[in-house]
Amino acid sequence: MENAIVHLTSDSTSLIVRCTPFAEILYLGQRLNGFSADDLISLGRAVPNGRIDVDAPVNFSADSGRGSFGTPGVEGHRDGLDWSPVFDTVEVQQQGNQLTIITKDAIAGLQLCSELRLDHSGVMQARNTLTNLKAENYQVTRLAVTLPLPERADEVMAFHGRWIKEFQLHRTRLEHGGVIQENRRGKTSSEYFPAMVIGHHGFSEQQGEVWGVHLGWSGNHRLRADVKTDGRRLMQAEALYFPGEQVLEQGESLETPWLYASYSASGLNPMSQQFHRFVRQQILRFPTNKPRPVHLNTWEGIYFNHDPNYIMQMATQSAALGVERFIIDDGWFRGRDHDRAALGDWYLDEKKYPHGLKPVIDHVKNLGMEFGIWVEPEMINPDSDLYRAHPDWLLALPGYQQPTGRHQFVLDLNNPQVFDYLLERMSWLLGEHDVDYVKWDMNREIVQPGHQGRAALTAQTQQFYRLLDVLGERFPQIEFESCASGGGRIDYEVLKRSHRFWTSDNNDALERQKIQRGMSYFFPPEVMGSHIGNKRCHATSRQHSIEFRGLTALFGHMGIELDPVKEGDAERAGFARYTRLHQQLRELLHSGNVYRVDHHDDTTLINGVVSIRQDRAVFLVSQLAMPAWSLPGNLRVPGLDTQARYRVSILDAPALLANGQPGHTMRKQPDWIQQPQELSGEWLEKAGLALPVLDPESALLLSFERV
């Protein structure tokens, strides 16, 4: 068979796959320029004593029948038979950087098709599709993608979290056994973002080898990084299935979600930059090329108190601040006066809006802003007309009492009547009104997802995608935000049909610094909703200066989340100032390379963006807590052109340091601040800038412009 060995390359990465007699990844790492298939002789493994007499590969299907004792890639059976498939290659197809390997087990009557792509950004995509070839049904329990890793990949970094504290990092040494991460909440979840970074221990933002992986799936998932007892390592990723959920009739297939992987030889920054480039080029489909508009979202400003005249005042104030998109959040539909009722009743509340939405929308448009609106289509409150009419429309199991979550149940999107009802109501909303943007929420976890008695979570997730896809086709000019309580449904598969994520319901700038950093590993700034919230944060009651809130919101897709009518002049001047600053910088922020800078004091977080042409950069130095040391050390600026010179300036500083004032924790500012400088990119990278001493919960924005 031809194509026994395939070498795919990107600028940075090589992927070498042996396609026969079975499919196996031999290398995923730094690009090789002189590779020859003959070199592979060097990888032929020894067979140790005291175990199976032949070499057992870590192949795509991780077949246990080849003597590999790890978790198989395919688990299932046909009424107790055909439960240990062994897949041999029957066909290999290659088109450019896309490889398809079709393998079969004729005894078990199964086909496994593995697809691999290496994008020029350096991101590898992989998925497996299992097909039942026999007349009897095949029950699939597990179907995973398996990725071998080298022995030096001995530390795992992953993400945990919860509502209002998403994307928190933790690290674990990978020595014996393994690390398993499971999410069973029915959506991507705030608890476990479906990703892992596995690298050589001690890897950091700027150093060390890392393999980052993300499973693009908005349902339940399992990710594992394993050390086999012989020392080899691998990672596996899969969507989780409930018992009996996946039954394949003859000719039917089941696909894994796509697994995305990015390798870096020099720390987490290049890994993220590759993921960002991939998202920008391969996933995001903005209806137009316009800059990401600055939002004003009404939620924390008025909650359920909708008065169109007042909302129009809010819109007027928003436009004066430079806001470009005005979004009416929850509370606009019939009976929605609090969060205990009305989900499902997608009809305008005519008591609140006696003249319809049109006057508000016209007002927003006349002010030159786009108009957005909030929905939560997948949900239903027991106190709703829809529930009273159709109590059987729930995604649930008959006979059991569903627990509510935020006083709501989940609708069964697998029921065509439900799907059609939602499609009709959403089409009314989006077709009859001049809507530019939809904030699509999803505020509860899914328990016992039953359709006609059978488990149906995968189908529910697919129907959710279909609903968004159909609406996307019907209304191609409308953008969607994936919200899910903030942070609950953030992944690459939902991003294929949405344009922004609501990152977290926590607008506390201090908490946001960490949440946004966590999200930045896999997502570029332009999809990360980041809002300036009220001075006293509604999630934490903490208070922050407008400078700290403004600078923290600056590095995402920026917005404001409060009632501008009620704010005083100083706060309003701040909103206008940071909106303007964001608008000045957003082309750079939303297209450049993101850097997170290693710093010896973890009370200081430093991140920045360098333009692709390296002619401009901004770096934000955020002091999260009292500095560990009285001197903060130097910022060695990554990513600049070492052949060029840069004008260094301060774009924004805490009010206390304005006009060269020292502040609380500093007696005198560093020399370079007092006399603005032009310095070489090389010097800035190798020696750096002495940082000023910043007070806790304040930040400094630095600019570098090529001269």
Q: Which residues are catalytic?
A: 441, 505
Question: Which region, judged by CB under 6 A, interacts with ligand DGJ, from 347-355, 425-433, 480-488, 680-688?
Answer: 480-488
Question: Which residue in 27, 217, 241, 299 binds ligand DGJ (CB under 6 A)?
Answer: 299
Q: Distance of CA 67 to CAs 46, 54, 63, 238, 648, Å?
A: 15, 8, 8, 22, 60
Of all helices (H) and strands (E), which one includes residue 234? strand 233-239
Q: How many CB atoms lie within 10 A of CB 327?
A: 25
Q: How far apart are CA 702 and CA 606, in angstroms?
A: 11
Question: Which residue in 119, 505, 563, 697 binds ligand DGJ (CB under 6 A)?
Answer: 505
CB of 383 to ligand DGJ, least distance (A): 15
534 binds ligand DGJ (CB under 6 A): no
167 binds ligand DGJ (CB under 6 A): no
Q: Distance of CA 674 to CAs 49, 623, 649, 660, 679, Å?
A: 70, 21, 10, 7, 15
Contact letters for ligand DGJ, residues 458-477 (x by CB under 6 A): --------------------
Q: Which is nearer to ligand DGJ, 483 or 605 (CB)?
A: 483
CB of 563 to ligand DGJ, least distance (A): 15
Of all helices (H) and strands (E), which one includes residue 270? helix 268-278
Tokens of 176: 């014996």
Question: Which residue in 485, 498, 503, 516 binds ligand DGJ (CB under 6 A)?
Answer: 485
CB of 301 to ligand DGJ, least distance (A): 11
Q: Which is nearer to ligand DGJ, 439 or 544 (CB)?
A: 439
Q: How many CB atoms lie within 10 A of CB 486?
A: 23
Question: Which residue in 27, 203, 374, 440 binds ligand DGJ (CB under 6 A)?
Answer: 374
Q: Distance of CA 605 to CAs 120, 622, 645, 696, Å?
A: 31, 5, 25, 11
Q: How far apart are CA 218 and CA 458, in angstroms?
A: 9
Question: Which residue in 205, 226, 330, 445 binds ligand DGJ (CB under 6 A)?
Answer: 330
CB of 484 to ligand DGJ, least distance (A): 7
CB of 509 to ligand DGJ, least distance (A): 17
Q: How many CB atoms lie within 10 A of CB 680?
A: 16
Q: Which is nearer to ligand DGJ, 234 or 515 (CB)?
A: 515
483 binds ligand DGJ (CB under 6 A): yes
CB of 407 to ligand DGJ, least distance (A): 11
Question: Which residue in 245, 370, 441, 479 binds ligand DGJ (CB under 6 A)?
Answer: 441
486 binds ligand DGJ (CB under 6 A): yes
| Closest among 94, 97, 71 to 84, alpha carbons compared | 71
Q: Which is nearer to ligand DGJ, 82 or 330 (CB)?
A: 330
Q: How far apart are CA 503 and CA 520, in angstroms?
A: 11
| Closest among 9, 640, 519 to 272, alpha carbons compared | 519
Sign for the CA dihedral angle at 391, 393, 396, 402 comes to negative
419 binds ligand DGJ (CB under 6 A): no
The gap between the terminal CA atoms of the chain, to the nearest Å, is: 57
Sign for the CA dihedral angle at 284, 289, 294, 298 comes to negative
Question: Which residue in 443, 463, 579, 611 binds ligand DGJ (CB under 6 A)?
Answer: 443
CB of 426 to ligand DGJ, least distance (A): 16
115 binds ligand DGJ (CB under 6 A): no
Q: Which is nearer to ligand DGJ, 374 or 548 (CB)?
A: 374
How do beta strands 210-215 and 259-264 pair? antiparallel
| Residues near ligand DGJ (CB under 6 A), total | 11
CB of 436 to ligand DGJ, least distance (A): 17
Q: Which residues bind ligand DGJ (CB under 6 A)?
A: 299, 329-330, 374, 441, 443, 483, 485-486, 502, 505
